[in-house]
Chain A
Amino acid sequence: EVQLLESGGGLVQPGGSLRVSCAASGFTFGSYAMSWVRQAPGKGLEWVSGISGSGSSTYYADSVKGRFTISRDNSKNTLYLQMNSLRAEDTAVYYCAKWSLVSPLFDYWGQGTLVTVSS
């Protein structure tokens, strides 16, 4: 059974940094691309970033490019999102999802972790 478990969310001040993680199990992690998708409170879904199975290719939405960095450790079956220069508009639940590269196909999702950017 595929399981994705996010962690690391919390309250951070504007301009601050935070790293969220996603522990994966139930599939051959290194063989699949992964993504982060966020959802602001009461709002819709927004794709944030994606990474290939090997980690050699990364993809970012314009809204986070230059501020967020996606990475993965295939030896630990873990996906990361390093978020710097955080803004109030980055406040959202961050979901990790198993991703079919270069498509909007996300076939498994985690439960999400809430990141709140506020002073």
Chain B
Amino acid sequence: QSVLTQPPSASGTPGQRVTISCSGSSSNIGTNYVYWYQQLPGTPPKLLIYMNNQRPSGVPDRFSGSKSGTSASLAISGLRSEDEAHYYCASWDDSLKGPLFGGGTKLTVL
């Protein structure tokens, strides 16, 4: 099944560590890399993590990615108010023959 499933919401307090999950299948996460995007309110998405756990230049090391089997996770440590955003996982899907995005997780910093 060509779907990436994320929890619709997550929350944490400043300084806390939060994780966001992304569940897929053998046609996507199971055999391909996972990417993560951050979308701040009113702005376009920004690449946060590529190839499962790599950070582009300029992305703080508070953000980390991991993958195991057909699931992946984004971890944010030392949570800050400016991390409040939507987060999307993405992977190539071999059945669809195209990029596939998760439904997104809205992170609230309490």
With A104-B90, A109-B46 in contact, do A44 and B56 touch (Cβ < 8 Å)?
no
Interchain Cβ contacts within 8 Å, total number: 56
With A103-B33, A104-B35, A104-B92 in contact, do A47 and B44 touch (Cβ < 8 Å)?
no
Chain B interface main SS type: strand
Q: How far is the CB of A74 from chain B (nearest CB, A)?
A: 23
Contact in complex: A104, B91 (CB < 8 Å):
yes
Which one of A35, A59, A112 lies within 8 Å of B44 (CB-CB)?
A: A112
Residue numbers in B under 8 Å from A107 (CB-CB): 47, 56
Chain A contacts with B in 36-86, Cβ cutoff 8 A: 37, 44-47, 50, 59-62
Q: How far is the CB of A51 from chain B (nearest CB, A)?
A: 13
Interface CB pairs A-B, < 8 A, 12: A44-B88, A44-B102, A44-B104, A45-B90, A50-B98, A61-B96, A103-B92, A104-B35, A104-B90, A105-B47, A106-B47, A111-B43
Q: Hey, which bits of chain B sit against chain A, CB under 8 A? A: 33, 35, 37, 43-47, 50, 56, 88, 90-92, 96-104
